[in-house]
Structure 1
Amino acid sequence: MSFNSPTPATGYVATFLDAVQQYVAASPGRAILLAVVYTPLLTIVLNILRQLIIPRDPSLPPEVFHWIPIVGSAISYGNDPLNFFFTCREKYGDVFTFTLLGRQVTVALGAKGNNFVLGGKSDAFSAEDAYTHLTTPVFGKDVVYDVPNEVFMEQKKFVKVGLSTENFRAYVNMFEQEVDDYMRTDQAFIIWQMNDINEWGRFDVTDVMAQITILTASRTLQGKEVRSGLDKSFSGLYNDLDGGFTPLNFMFPNLPLESYRRRDEAHKKMSEYYTDIIRKRRETGHLDEPDMISALMDQKYRDGRPLRDHEIAHIMIALLMAGQHTSSASGSWTLLHLAHNLEAQEALYQEQVDYFGNPDGSFRPMTYEAFRKLPVLDSVIRETLRMHPPIHSVMRYVRTDVPVPATLAAPSKDGTYVVPKGYYVLSSAAVSQVDPRIWVNPTKWEPTRWSDPEGVAAQAFKTYADESGEKVDYGFGAVSKGTESPYQPFGAGRHRCIGEQFAYLQLGTVIATIIRKVELRLEDGITKLPEHNYHTMITMPKKPRNVCYRRRRFD
């Protein structure tokens, strides 16, 4: 059907308008009633007709059909983004545009789509324009997306200094000790504390991992002052600040809500908390702690200006907030899979016995060097991150018209598609990491897939890590680009997570320490893992998400 010629739809509209005119003529007061009742309906009808009748600019990517203007596909996308993406790909291909609460978002799927979005130049695809309204009220001014990209790259370089191998060596035992202390004191592990190898206890994996994550992070990266100050008042500030880091805040940054007021007040108090620590360290000369505060206090920008105290404080808040949810989510999914897959759990436990076990059944402390040589633990983490990347969508604001490469989307009959200035672009590693066109049994948690050196998983990781030796320096030191890989658990390109190695070490040490101490099972009658909760910024498991545990015989 040609949309340039009359269609039955235009006849329906003429009939509808004629009926409305006769209805209003019979009683002028009916116009107000019509306006109230039928304006929303008319708006929907006009939106549908616009999509069906009005010729579309052939240079634009295909548009996902939607019923309600402005709202667009927000409900379908928000409830289940992966299903939405796969369904749209079947209809429109790897590149398409959908409406998200008034925003026009062009999606680019697959490894080539990842490369198009995350490998794009910052003057064309802007992360700061996409996210600053969400991150600045939480992290603070003058850091991350509240500064030009080149300044943010310098700040990432400063953070990288604190993520040194020397510090990592010290962190391993700190992680172990924090997990051990937590299990010996928290009510979640009361059965384990009773030293009964026959009784089973139960805990909510996300609640437990959230607590362990903040304890281990504060003991190491955040510094001893933060760890010693983890009381109810700090927890309250964190919770209020965290309440401002939601999809609602991303879509509507300036609502006059109580949660927004609490967020702003919490940020002010937490910023003062960190600047007070910095001030006291300067006064006492305690500047050589193996933590991030100490590392940042020594850094200077290229122009010679040192980091100001409030910048250090705000970077510390950003590290706390960004790392907390991602690590606790990954840890939750890992424990759930191990509780479900007893064979993998036993292999992981046996690896700990082989590398660190003593004849009496006890374990020697882990070391950083030994941690890097644990293939089962490595496979378990990689596979969990493949199936459950913490962030399912990455967006950039389009600053200038950008053509879509023909290798990504077949050109339209009139030439290459163009993503216009003012749109957003979106890539989703969550799609490419479970794409049946790439992976065998993509929705099955199968750590052994990473053991095949010629398999898809190993090749994807090689591309992600750029093991060929090719590195790119975006301003914070040479790193692997990784934008062309279908596997991107920590992002890629210039905004690849700078804390990747720390998160991996933290997660691996925590999981290994727990597995040394307890056996895990899903609750009786539960045969499937929880579904993904996509209504949060980080993809968490939905409730119920309980795991049963029993003390190991030789712990």
Structure 2
Amino acid sequence: MDLDPKLLNVITLLIATLIAAKIIATFLIPRSRKRLPPVVNAWPVFGGLFRFLKGPIVMLRQEYPKLGSVFTLNLLNKNITFLIGPEVSAHFFKASESDLSQQEVYQFNVPTFGPGVVFDVDYSVRQEQFRFFTEALRVNKLKGYVDQMVFEAQEYFSKWGESGEVDLKQELERLIILTASGCLLGDEVRNKLFDDVSALFHDLDNGMQPISVIFPYLPIPAHRRRDQARKKLADIFATIINSRKQSGKCENDMLQCFIDSKYKNGRPTTESEVTGLLIAALFAGQHTSSITSTWTGAYLLCNPKHMAAVINEQKDLVNKHGDNVDHDILSEMNVLYRCIKEALRLHPPLIMLLRSSHSDFTVTTKEGKDYDIPKGHIVATSPAFANRLPHVFKDPDTYDPDRYGPGREEDKAAGAFSYISFGGGRHGCLGEPFAYLQIKAIWSHLLRNFELELVSPFPETDWNAMVVGVKGKVMVRYKRKVLQCS
């Protein structure tokens, strides 16, 4: 039977269209369509949401051996492409903000930090605000902060008895918020308003829930307390700022640095901006320092070799400088530095770093395979996973501070971005020197003045926290040494 001419035309047109589409796919579609990263097997529609929420590190441990250092996870309507290891991470850390942006992926911080600061402003303004942080953390400023750190440690531990048992995690959290109040927020907060401000920061901190990442304005009780605390903190800081300006009083703290900061066009910072920058600084530093101080102590107390090494270093410094501890002396504590750095490698508080891709780019794996990452993907790397890669660090799950010593330097041997606990590149942590000085000030005092013993089991990791830290108590038995040092 003859086909109707109209139907024949339709069939012919359909076949021609399919052939044309095949030709276009073969010759005209960019090569990136052929070299996309492998995709994690996941449910339709929801993608890898359930696996991701269950724990991204668990997912990475399962998929990295199968898929390699570059792969994509479909997450609802988003694609997250992971770059794991120094060989594929250079673009992540070095790309310009116009290519890989922080702003979109960290919008959940805006209700906490407040309007007009950090991730609520365009990149040019954010760069100027980061300049304020840099100026507040220059060496001449850090030297003054160290005096406060040492004073706070002496005062805090003077209240311990001759012997006893304490939860080291809780003790270090309290000490570090006291130190942060003195160095960052100023005497007005440290001496008069500490309890009030500490409670408000607690509500602000608890307002950062896992659900907040996806729905930062969801009307839940934790978010309502967060918003109320943010408003009360703004009122407190406004009063302090106005008082300082009217009296002409000038202090050596980060608050004063932010008050005195000016943008390139000459505009001074506003009260709202100063408050937001202070909150951002405290959030960035408090968790990292308290968590890393605790892990450092737990590892030292379980490793007699490294404990002996840091104690001997303190004895040498006392013989050289007496009981004095200042910025320059803390800078000489290389053995303690390596012990802190190793604890931070094994337990970085921020387990995921994210960017939003605004342009296509290509990465090459250590096996020489090229992958093209499309514009629109969220790009991620994981310090918690990358810091334990066996081809970068020997026996990666072992606490071994000597791996950073002369002759080994494993963090450099595999190239840039092998060690990423503080990020790196364009967005490396500005507070890294402050954090190391603070932890050194605390542990140099403890090592010089106390005999310590871990009496609870070695702590576990609290993977459920937004900033991943130590789970449960870390009980330590202490005994004050007969001959005290500073």
Equivalent runs, 1:46-85 vs 2, <5 Å: 58-67=34-43, 69-70=45-46, 72-85=47-60
CA gap 1:550/1:67 in 2 versus in 1, 3 angstroms: farther
Matched, 1:311 2:273: yes
Matched, 1:229 2:158: no
User: Alignment length, in residue pairs?
Assistant: 453
Partner residue, 2:451: 519
1:337 counterpart letter in structure 2:
Y
* Residue 154 (structure 1) aligned to one of 128, 136, 142: 128
1:364 counterpart letter in structure 2:
D
CA distance in 1, matches of 2:482, 2:320: 14
Cα offset, 1:535, TM superposition: 1.5
- Confirm or deny: 8 A CA contact 2:169 2:473 kept in the other structure: no
Equivalent runs, 1:213-252 vs 2, <5 Å: 213-252=176-215
CA gap 1:379/1:68 in 2 versus in 1, 3 angstroms: same
Structure 1: which 5+ residue stretches go unaligned? 1-55, 464-483
Partner residue, 1:539: 468
Matched, 1:295 2:254: no
CA gap 1:67/1:323 in 2 versus in 1, 3 angstroms: same
1:523 counterpart letter in structure 2:
V
SS of 1:305's equivalent in the other structure is: coil
CA distance in 1, matches of 2:406, 2:54: 35
Query: 1:338-370: CA deviations, max 9, x gaps?
Result: 1111222222122112212599xxx61212112
Cα offset, 1:220, TM superposition: 1.4
2:70 counterpart letter in structure 1:
V
* Residue 437 (structure 1) aligned to one of 391, 401, 419: 391
2:300 counterpart letter in structure 1:
L
Equivalent runs, 1:241-390 vs 2, <5 Å: 241-287=204-250, 289-356=251-318, 364-390=323-349
CA distance in 2, matches of 1:419, 1:220: 43
CA distance in 2, matches of 1:296, 1:257: 32
Matched, 1:395 2:354: yes
2:186 counterpart letter in structure 1:
G
CA distance in 2, matches of 1:142, 1:267: 14
Partner residue, 1:105: 80
SS of 2:73's equivalent in the other structure is: strand
Matched, 1:183 2:183: no
Partner residue, 2:12: none
* Residue 171 (structure 1) aligned to one of 127, 139, 145: 145
CA distance in 1, matches of 2:50, 2:68: 21
SS of 1:157's equivalent in the other structure is: helix
Cα offset, 1:161, TM superposition: 1.3
Equivalent runs, 1:206-217 vs 2, <5 Å: 206-217=169-180
Matched, 1:428 2:382: yes
Partner residue, 2:479: 550
Equivalent runs, 1:452-491 vs 2, <5 Å: 452-457=406-411, 459=413, 484-491=416-423
Query: 1:230-279: CA deviations, max 9, x gaps?
Result: 44322221111001223221122232201111111111111121121111
CA distance in 2, matches of 1:334, 1:305: 43
Give me the CA root mean square deviation. 2.3
Cα offset, 1:407, TM superposition: 4.5
Cα offset, 1:387, TM superposition: 1.3
- Dislocated runs of 4+, deviation >6 Å: none
SS of 1:395's equivalent in the other structure is: strand
- Confirm or deny: 8 A CA contact 1:339 1:547 kept in the other structure: no
1:298 counterpart letter in structure 2:
D
CA distance in 2, matches of 1:112, 1:88: 18
CA gap 1:65/1:410 in 2 versus in 1, 3 angstroms: farther
Query: 1:417-441: CA deviations, max 9, x gaps?
Result: 4333332110122222211011111
- Confirm or deny: 8 A CA contact 1:79 1:534 kept in the other structure: no
CA gap 1:435/1:396 in 2 versus in 1, 3 angstroms: same
- Confirm or deny: 8 A CA contact 1:348 1:377 kept in the other structure: yes
CA gap 1:410/1:458 in 2 versus in 1, 3 angstroms: closer
1:406 counterpart letter in structure 2:
T
2:90 counterpart letter in structure 1:
N
Cα offset, 1:550, TM superposition: 2.4
SS of 2:40's equivalent in the other structure is: coil
SS of 1:307's equivalent in the other structure is: coil
Cα offset, 1:137, TM superposition: 0.4
Query: 1:464-494: CA deviations, max 9, x gaps?
Result: xxxxxxxxxxxxxxxxxxxx32112211122
CA gap 1:101/1:245 in 2 versus in 1, 3 angstroms: farther
CA gap 1:409/1:429 in 2 versus in 1, 3 angstroms: farther
CA distance in 1, matches of 2:184, 2:83: 35
Partner residue, 2:21: none
SS of 2:119's equivalent in the other structure is: helix
CA distance in 2, matches of 1:168, 1:449: 28
- Confirm or deny: 8 A CA contact 2:69 2:85 kept in the other structure: yes
Q: TM-score, normalised by structure 1?
A: 0.77
Cα offset, 1:101, TM superposition: 5.4
Cα offset, 1:331, TM superposition: 0.8
- Confirm or deny: 8 A CA contact 2:208 2:466 kept in the other structure: yes
Structure 2: which 5+ residue stretches go unaligned? 1-31
Partner residue, 1:507: 439
2:353 counterpart letter in structure 1:
V
CA distance in 2, matches of 1:548, 1:102: 51
Which deviates further from its counterpart, 265-274 or 115-124? 115-124
CA gap 1:354/1:324 in 2 versus in 1, 3 angstroms: same
CA distance in 2, matches of 1:79, 1:206: 26
2:219 counterpart letter in structure 1:
P
SS of 1:141's equivalent in the other structure is: coil
Query: 1:252-311: CA deviations, max 9, x gaps?
Result: 223220111111111111112112111110000012x11112222222211221212211
Cα offset, 1:106, TM superposition: 0.6
CA distance in 1, matches of 2:318, 2:138: 24
Q: Percent identity?
A: 32
Query: 1:9-68: CA deviations, max 9, x gaps?
Result: xxxxxxxxxxxxxxxxxxxxxxxxxxxxxxxxxxxxxxxxxxxxxxx9644321101236
